[in-house]
Amino acid sequence: MMRTVSAVSDYSDLPEYPIPAGERLEAHSFFKMHHVQLLESDFFKSCKSRDDWDVIGLALALWGKAQLQDPVATLPVEPRRQAWMMDMPLERWEGYLRRDPSPLYGWSRCRILGTGEIRLMHKTLTDVALEALNWKNHNLDRREAERERQALSRLRKSVADLVSERLAGDRRYIVTLHRWLEDTYPHGNRSVARILEGMEALGTTEYRR
């Protein structure tokens, strides 16, 4: 794990956080816990040797709180905002920050893409968040592909019923018509009138079965 947070005088030297502002994980109700890495870390061993179990608990609570932040898996740098997140008086929180190690062990400053805001990041949590985002994007792509497949199937049937089976079997034509309808009528039903309008816009003259 990284070393504890330290003062940074030149913000231009800070790394850019790889997840931009506004990127959220709405369904992110849990995150992957690398428990072996935690149990073998200097942080855990040091807290254990000092009997500082409350610091470990607060650190894990921060990991969970960070999942609800924007961007995901970051924390504000201001102790006042951190104390508010942890629902405790500032003086008490600052007392924990003076512990060695503190609950912020492993967190370091970074710049947020798009806003330039300075926040805290944790390498382990960043890697977990990036993996979760990759899965989110993969699932979105898969759902979009299935939505398009169903739309093309319905459009193919409509063209077959309205015009001809031969034209409906022309995959390139159906995809082109689908894109025209998506661009022209991104919302709303694909009525017969709209489908015929699209076919006319594409210069379709064959209206025989």
Could you read off the pLDDT of 69-123 as tens digits, one per residue? 999 999 999 999 999 999 999 999 999 999 999 999 999 999 998 888 999 999 9
Peptide bond into 15 cis (omega under 30): no
User: Binning pLDDT at 50, 70 and 90, where does residue 31 land?
Assistant: low
pLDDT at 204: 76
What type of residue sits at position 95? G
pLDDT at 9: 43
Residue 16 near residue 110 (C-beta atoms within 8 A):
yes
Could you tell me the CA-to-CA distances from 157 to 12, 17, 95, 176, 193 in Å, in that order?
58, 48, 69, 15, 15
pLDDT at 206: 55
Overall pTM > 0.75? no
Task: Compute the chain's Rg from CA coordinates.
Answer: 27
